[in-house]
Chains A and B, each alone.
Chain A
Amino acid sequence: MPTFTHAQQQASKAVLSGRIISMDNTSRPDSVLVFAKKDSVQYRAFSNAEGVFSFGAIPVGTYKLSITSMFFKTAPRTIHLHKDVLVEMPVQSNQRTLQEVFITASESKGMTSTSVIDRRAMQHLQPSSFTDLLELLPGGRAKDPVLTSMNQIRLRETGYDSRSYDISSLGTAFVVDGATINTSANLQNSENYFVTDPNASRFSVNKGVDMRSISTDQIEKVTIIRGIPSVEYGEVTSGVVNIERKSGASPFSARMKADGFSKLFYLGKGFNIGTKGWTLNTDIGYMKAKSDPRNDFNTYNRINTSVRLDRKWVANGRSNTWRNSLDYNTTIDNQRVDPDNGYAPVDKYTSNSNSFQVNTQFSTKAINHKAFWQGLDLGFNASYTKDKIDATKWIQAKSAEILINSMEPGEHDAKYVTPSYASHLLVDGQPFNAAFRINTTLGFDALAVRHEVKVGMESRYSKNFGKGQVYDLDFPTSTTISARPRAFDTIPGMFNQSFFIEDKISTYIGKSKLTTAIGVRGMALLGMDSKYTIANKIYIDPRINAKLALPKMDVGNKILKMEVGAGYGYATKMPTLDQLYPNFKYFDLVQANFYHNNPGMRKANAVTYIVNNTNYDLRPATNKKFEINVDFEIDHHRLSISYFKEKMNTGFRESSQYLALGYKQYLIDTTKLNGQAPVLSEHPYVDRKRYYTYSFDTNGSTLNKEGVEFQYTSKRFAGINTRFTLNGAYFISIYSNSMPYYGLIPSSVITNGDTYQYIGMYEGNNGQVRESFNTNLTIDSYLPNLGLTVSTSIQNIWFTAQKNERKNGVPVMFAGIDEQWLPYTEKYLTDPDLKFLTILYTESDFQRKTVPIDLQMNMKITKEFKKKASISMFVNRLFTYRPDYVRNGIKVLRSGYVTPYFGMELNFNF
C-alpha cells in the first residue's frame, strides 16, 4: 500500500466530538441524539451523562450539527472540520413531555415555598395583565380584571383594603430580567387638591407596583417566592415576583383577546443573529379597557414595546449569558366626570405614564461544578418615567367663600373666590431610577460539606425630577383646598446601598441530603440629612433556609421522594421618598368674613399655619418570616404543604397628630366704619382656638400573617390525559395599629359658640382578625392529537370571617382648648359636652362575623391548529352557589343573578 495514499487517507478524517451544556440546569443533557450532516451523509452520536458526545473519526468537510431531544433544543450550527475539534453546544430545555405540561402553577423544588408559572399556563389562563396570574397561587381565585384602578398584590393574606397595610404590596419586589421595578420615587398624587379626587382609584404612591401595567405576553416564566427569599433579594417584606422574559428565536406570535370590556393585541418575534449565539426579541402590545361595558368615559389604555438583544455562548470553560433590553411603555387613564357631579363639557381627567427602561445583565458560570470560582453576575438598569396627571374641573363658589392661597404663614387679608371658573391641576412627576448590582459565587468543599458562598452588593438610586403639583393659586381646584403647589425636584434623591453574603451548605446525613442556605444582608440609606434617624444606619436581615431531601423510598413498585424544609428570616423595606419627605400641611382659619351689602366695604381676613409633618424618626419596616414545608412526590403525583407565620409591627401607616391653632374672632363695630372697609387693627377681637388633627407617616402598623397553603397535583392519567390539581389555603391575617390616635370631638358639639374645642387621645388597638379558607379544584385535559386543552376549575371559598378587637370607645386622656391633658375619668361620661368624646360601640361591633360558602365554576378551552394557530375561550362563573345567610335575625341577600365573565382570544404562530 503506497504510504502516500495512506497518509492522504489519514489526513482526510478528523475526530468530531463535543459537549452539550444545559444553560438552564434543569436536567442533565444525558442521551441527547446529535446529528452531523454533510451533503447526503448523516452521522449520529449520543451524549453521555456529562453531555459529552463523539462521532469518532469522520471525513473532513463542512458539517451541520443539530440535536434531537425531548428535553433540549438549540439552533443548528455549521462546523468546518479539518482537524480534531471539540465543539461546545449550549442548549435550552424543552419541557414538552405530557407529564411536564402544567396549566396551573407548580411548586418549585427550591429552598423555600415558591410558585412557578410557565408560558403554557399563562396562555391557557388568557390574562389581560399580570394580576390575572395570581389566580394560580394557593389562596388565589379567578377575579374579573379591574383595569381602571390600581392593582396591588397581596401575598398570603385575606386582604384588607386600607392604606395602613399597603406595606404588604410595597414590600413585594418585582424583578424583571434581573432589574427590580423601583417605586420609591413615585409621587403622583392629586388628593387634597380636589373635593373628589378624580385620580383616587389609580392612586399608587407607597403601594408598590401597579400590576395592571405589566403585560404577560412577553413573559416566559414567572417565579413567585412566597417564603423566605435568599439574601440576594432586598427591599422585600412579603415576597418576590421574578419575571423572565422571552429570549431566543421564535416564530412570529400574535395574540388578540376580547372580552366584555377590553381588547388586547400583541405581536412578537425572536430572531437568531449570526452564529455566535446572538438573539433579538421584539414585542409590541396594546390593550384598551373600560371600567364597564356601558361606560365609555372611564378607560385605560396600555402600550408595551420591548427590544431585547441577548447572547448565550460558551468560552473558556464558562457558559455566559448577556441580556440587554430597551423598553418603552405607556399607560393612559382617562375619565370624564359624571354629568350629575360635575360640569361635563369642562371636567376631565387623564393620567399618562410614559416610561423608558434600559437593562443590561451579564452572567457567567463555570461549567465545572467543582471549580472554586463558580460564577459572576453583573447588572445595570435605569428607568425614566414621565408621569402626568392633567385634571380640569369647573368650580362654583357655594356662597361668599374666601380664597385660600397664602404660601406664607401668618395673618393676612384675603380675597373672595371668583364665583365660577374652570380650574386646572397638572401633576408632573419624573421618577428616575438607576441600579447596579454585582455578585460572585465561590464553591469549595470543607470536610464532608460542600459550600457555595455568594457575595454581592447592590446600589440603587431614586429621584423625582418632576415639577410636582402645579396650579394657578388664584383659581384653586377646590374652594376648601388644604394643600399648595409642591415641586418634586426639590426632594433629595435616595441612595440605597446594600451588600449580602450567603453560604449554601450541602451535606449528607446518612442517605439524606441536607442543604442549608444561611445568609445576611445589610442595607443603608446613604447621604441623607443626619436629622433622620435612618440616615446612614445599616439594617441587617439574617435569613436561613434548610431543606432535607430524604432518600428515595420504595413504595409498592413506585419511588417516593420526600423533602422537608424550614426557614426563618428578617425582610426589611426602606421607606419611600413620599414617606421621608411628605408634603407640608396647610391650615387656614378665617378670622373675618365681613360681607357688607356695599362691596367696597367688605373685608376678609385669615391666618395661615404651615406645618412640617416629617417624621424624622421613621424607620424601615421589618417582617419576621417563619415557615415549614413538606413535599411528597410519587409516580408524578405531588403534594406540597407549607405552614407559615409572619410578624411585622413596624409597617408604614399614617397616624394622627394634633394642634391647637389660634385665630382672632373680630367683633367689627359697624358704627366706626365711615363708609370704608374696616381696618381690622382698629377693631376689638376675641382670641379663640380650635383643635385640628393631621396625619404623619409612622411605623405603627402591625400585620401578622399565618396560615397553611397546600397543593396536590395528580399525574396526568394516561388515556384520558387528565390531571387533577387541588390547591388551597387557610389564612389568618391580623391587622392592627399600635399608635395612639387623636380624635376631635364631633363638629356638631358647640362649646362657647365654637366647634372642635375638645380632643381625646384613644388607644390605638383598633385591630381586626380576618380569616379565609378556600380550595380550588382544577381538572385539565390535554389532548395533543386533537390539539385541545380543556380545563374546569371549581373554586370555592368555604368561609371568610372577620372580628374586630374589642374597644370601649372611651378616650384615655382628653384636653380642653387650654391644652391641659387630663385623664378621662368616669365623671366625664355624663358631662354634657365631653360625653361626645366617647365613641359608642355595640356588641355586634365585636362579634365574629362569618360569610359562608361562595362557589364558582370556571371553564377554559383552547384549540390548537397544527401549532400555528389557536383559539381560546373562557367563561368564569358559569355556575355559582352563594346562598343567603342570616346574621342577628336579618337575612343578608347574596344569591341572585350573577353575571358570568367571558372572553375569547386568537393566537397565531407563523
Chain B
Amino acid sequence: MRQTKLFLFIFAAIGLVLAACSKDELKVKTSQVGVALTNPAGLTNPQITDIAVEFKEVNSGVESKFNLRSAAELSNLTLPEGSYNVNLEGTVTFGADNDRQTSKIRGYKQGIIISGGEVKLNIPLFLYNVASKFVFQEIFFTGTVTKEGKQYNGDKYFVIYNNSEDTLYADGLVISEAQFLTTTKRNYIPNIMGEAFTAGSIVMIPGTGKQYPILPGKGFTIANNAINHLEYNSNSFDLTSAEFELTLVGSINVDNPNVPDLINLNGNMTMHNRGFKTYVIARFPQNMTIDAYKAANYYEYKYLNSAGDTTKQNAYKIPNAWIMDAVNLSVETNYEWILTDPSLDMGWSYCGKVDSDKTRYGKAVRRKELLTNPDGRVVLKDNNNSTLDFDPEVTAKYLIKQ
C-alpha cells in the first residue's frame, strides 16, 4: 500500500512537470510593435482617425487585424514573430480650423521582420480619394484558343467604365502597358516609380474633347480588332459592337471602318498574353500635345543583370499625378513585384496560376461591384488594390451566352 501511494505520487509529480514543460514549449514568441505614421506632405494639422490596420504574415498567411480610433493606439501592439506585409486604411481631417477637409488615407509596407522583443516601424501614408474618373472594368489579355489548340489573339480588349456620377468624355484618354515585367524584379537606376510609371506601349483615344461622351455607370470597349472573330475561330466571339479599335501599325492592322481607331503614341499594344504586365489609364494635362509629352517624358535607365553586365535602355514615363487607374497583373508562381507606386495600385490580379497556364485562355479580370445606387447606377469597387478589387479568372464577357 505504501508502494502504491509512492508510485501514484511519483506519477503525479512527473505529470505536473511534464504538463508545465509542454505548456512552455507551446507558447508563441511575440514582440511589442510600435507603429508610427508619416503623414502625407502638405497637410496642415492632420488628424488621423478610424484606423483599420491589417498585418499579414507572409509565410503562414495568418492575419492580425486591429481597429483603432487614433494614431496613438498604434504605438503599442503585440504581434507574433514573423515576416509581414502591412495594410492600413483610415480617415484624415486636415486644413485650417475653420475649413476642415476630410479624406481617406491609405498606408502600405512590405517585408517587415518582427522579432527580438521590440520593433519600431514607420508606415508612410498617402491620400486616397474616390474622384471622378474612369476605371478599368475588364481586361481581356489572354486571347482565345482554337479547337486545335492554337493561340488566337485578335480578340483581346479593354472595357473602361465611368465610375463617377457625372458624364465624362473619353476623348484624349490615354491607355498604357508597362515597359517592365511583374515577374522580373530589377534594381533600375534611376528608380522613378515613386513619381512616375515607366510606359511601354501608349495609345490615345482620338477626339476634339467632347466627341465621345460616356454616361455615368456606362462602359465602353476598346478592341484589338473590332471584327467578328467567329469567322476565324469558333471559340472566339463577335467584337463588331466595340466602341473603339486599336491601330496595330506594324502588326495585323485590320480596320473595321465603322469603329473609330485609337492613335498610337509609342509601341505596339499587343497585350502580353501570359499577364505579366500592368495597365494604366491616364490623361495628359490640358493642351499638351503628343510631341510635347514625348519631349518632356523621355528617360534612360540601366540595371545590372544576372551575368554581371549592365544594360541601358530608354522609355517614356507617365507622371503618377496624371494616372487615373492602374491594374497590376502577374501569376502566383512567378510574381516578384508590382510596377506601380502602391498609391496607384498595391495589389495584383491574374488569369492562370502558373506561367503559360493552359487554362487561362478565354478568361479575363473583372472589377467587383461595390453597390447599386437607388437610380440603378452600379458603383465598382476601387480601393487601389487589384488583389481585392478584381475577380480573377472570370469568363470574358463576350463569351458569356446572354
Residue ranges of A at the interface with B (Cβ–Cβ < 8 Å) = 339-340, 343, 346, 394, 396-401, 419-420, 590, 592-597, 599, 668, 670, 747-750, 753-756, 832-833, 835-836, 840-845, 849, 886-890, 892
A-B contact pairs, 20 of them (CB 8 A): A343-B148, A343-B149, A346-B148, A396-B146, A398-B252, A399-B153, A399-B229, A399-B254, A400-B225, A401-B252, A420-B146, A420-B233, A597-B228, A597-B240, A750-B264, A753-B264, A832-B291, A832-B298, A840-B314, A887-B309
CB distance from A475 to the nearest CB of B (A): 15
A812 CA to B331 CA, complexed, in Å: 44
Chain B 306-322 per-residue mask, 1 if CB under 8 angstroms from chain A, else 0: 11111111100000000
What distance in Å separates the Cβ of B187 from its nearest Cβ neighbour in chain A? 11
When chains A and B are docked, how far (Å) is the Cα of A453 from the Cα of B145? 73
The one of B146, B232, B250, B314 in contact with A399, judged by C-beta atoms closer than 8 angstroms, is: B232
Q: Would A594 and B257 be within 8 Å (CB), given that A888-B310, A889-B304 are in contact?
A: yes
Most buried by A among B252, B295, B314: B252
Known: A396-B233, A748-B268. A887 touches B308 (CB 8 A): yes
A736 smallest CB distance to B (angstroms): 21
Q: Are A890 and B298 in contact (CB under 8 A)?
A: no
Contact present for B309 and A844 (CB under 8 Å) = yes
Docked pose: A89 CA to B294 CA in angstroms: 91
Decide if A670 touches B307 in the complex (CB within 8 Å).
no
In the complex, what residue of chain A is closest to B228 when comparing beta carbons?
Answer: A597
A-side binding surface: helix, strand, loop or mixed? loop
Q: A832 and B227: CB pair below 8 A?
A: no
Residue pair A400, B154 in contact (C-beta under 8 Å): yes
- Partner of B253 from the list A590, A749, A833, A886 (CB cut-off 8 Å) is A590
Does B75 belong to the interface (CB within 8 Å)? no
* Contact, CB under 8 Å: A840 / B356: no
**A-B residue pair count with CB separations less than 8 angstroms:** 136
B122 CB-CB contact with A under 8 Å = no
Closest to A599 in B: B231
A394 to B146, CA, bound (A): 11
CB distance from A16 to the nearest CB of B (A): 78
Residues of chain A with a CB closer than 8 A to B254's CB: 399-401, 593, 595
Scan B249-272; emit 1 where CB is below 8 A from any A CB, else 0.
110111111100001111110000
Among B154, B232, B305, the most chain A Cβ lie within 10 Å of the Cβ of B232
Q: Which 9 A-B pairs have the closest CB atoms?
A: A399-B154, A887-B308, A396-B150, A840-B312, A748-B267, A890-B308, A888-B308, A842-B310, A844-B310
Q: Contact at A749–B249, with CB atoms within 8 Å?
A: no
Known contacts A747-B250, A750-B266; A888/B152 CB under 8 A? no
Chain A residues near B225 (CB, 8 Å)?
A: 399-400, 595
Minimum CB distance partner of B247 in chain A: A753
B163 at the interface (CB under 8 A from A): no
Q: How far is the CB of B352 from chain A (nearest CB, A)?
A: 14
Q: Bound state CA distance, A135 and B17, in angstroms?
A: 73
Given contacts A419-B231, A890-B308, contact A593 B266 (CB under 8 A): no
CA distance A599 to B232 in the complex (A): 13
**Inter-chain contacts of A420 with B (CB < 8 A):** 146, 148, 150, 232-233
A613 and B256 alpha carbons, distance in the complex (Å):
37
Partner of A670, one of B253, B257, B314: B257
| Cα(A205)–Cα(B8), bound, Å | 94
* Shortest beta-carbon distance from A33 to chain B in Å: 67
Which of B151, B249, B305 is within 8 Å of A754, CB to CB?
A: B249
Cβ–Cβ < 8 Å partners of B266 in chain A: 748-750
Cβ-defined contact, A750 with B228, below 8 A: no
Residue among A394, A592, A748, A756 with the highest chain B CB neighbour number at 10 A: A748
Among B207-248, those with CB < 8 Å from A are 224-225, 227-229, 231-233, 240
* A836 & B250 in contact (Cβ 8 Å cutoff): no
Chain A min CB distance to B293 (Å): 9
Task: Find chain B residues with CB under 8 A from A832 CB.
Answer: 291, 294-295, 298
Nearest neighbor of B253 in chain A, beta-carbon distance: A593
In the complex, whether B381 has a CB less than 8 A from a CB of chain A is no
Pick from A594, A836, A841: contact of B312, CB below 8 A. A841
Q: Tell me if A836 and B268 are in contact (CB < 8 A).
A: no
A31 to B227, CA, bound (A): 94
B397 at interface by CB-CB < 8 Å: no
Collect the chain B residues with CB atoms within 8 Å of residue A841's CB: 312
A596 partner, pick from B148, B257, B356, beta carbons under 8 A: B257
What CA separation (Å) do A749 and B253 show in the bound complex?
A: 17
Contacting pair B314 A836 (CB below 8 A): yes
**A684 CB to nearest B CB, Å:** 14
A755 and B250 form a contact (CB under 8 A): yes
